[in-house]
């Protein structure tokens, strides 16, 4: 498995659970819980991630 450089959401803080996303691999987007960085990681294709963001109306 490639090394991922996870970035925590700027909306994340001590009171909210949030996600970290790694987009540094050309074939996979990795997503994990920011409070459980040693927990499971979800892997999706860049196409699926772009479609997901489009449904949220989040700039990417």
- The pLDDT value given to residue 21: 94
Report the predicted TM-score, pTM, of the whole model to 2 decimal places: 0.78
Task: Answer for the pair 21, 31: CB distance below 8 angstroms, yes or no.
Answer: yes
Digit-coded pLDDT (tens) for 20-35: 999 999 899 999 988 8
- Give the E-state strand segments of the chain in sequence order: 7-8, 19-22, 29-33, 41-44
All structural domains of the chain with their residue ranges: 7-56
Listed in sequence order, the residues at least 6 apart from 17 whose beta carbon sits closer than 8 Å to its beta carbon are 33, 34, 35
């Amino acid at each position: 498995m490639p090394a991922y450089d996870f970035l925590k959401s700027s909306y994340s803080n001590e009171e909210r659970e949030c996600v970290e996303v790694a987009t540094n691999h050309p074939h996979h987007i990795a997503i994990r819980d920011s409070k459980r960085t040693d927990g499971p990681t979800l892997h999706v294709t860049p196409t699926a991630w772009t479609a997901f963001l489009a449904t949220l109306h989040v700039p990417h």
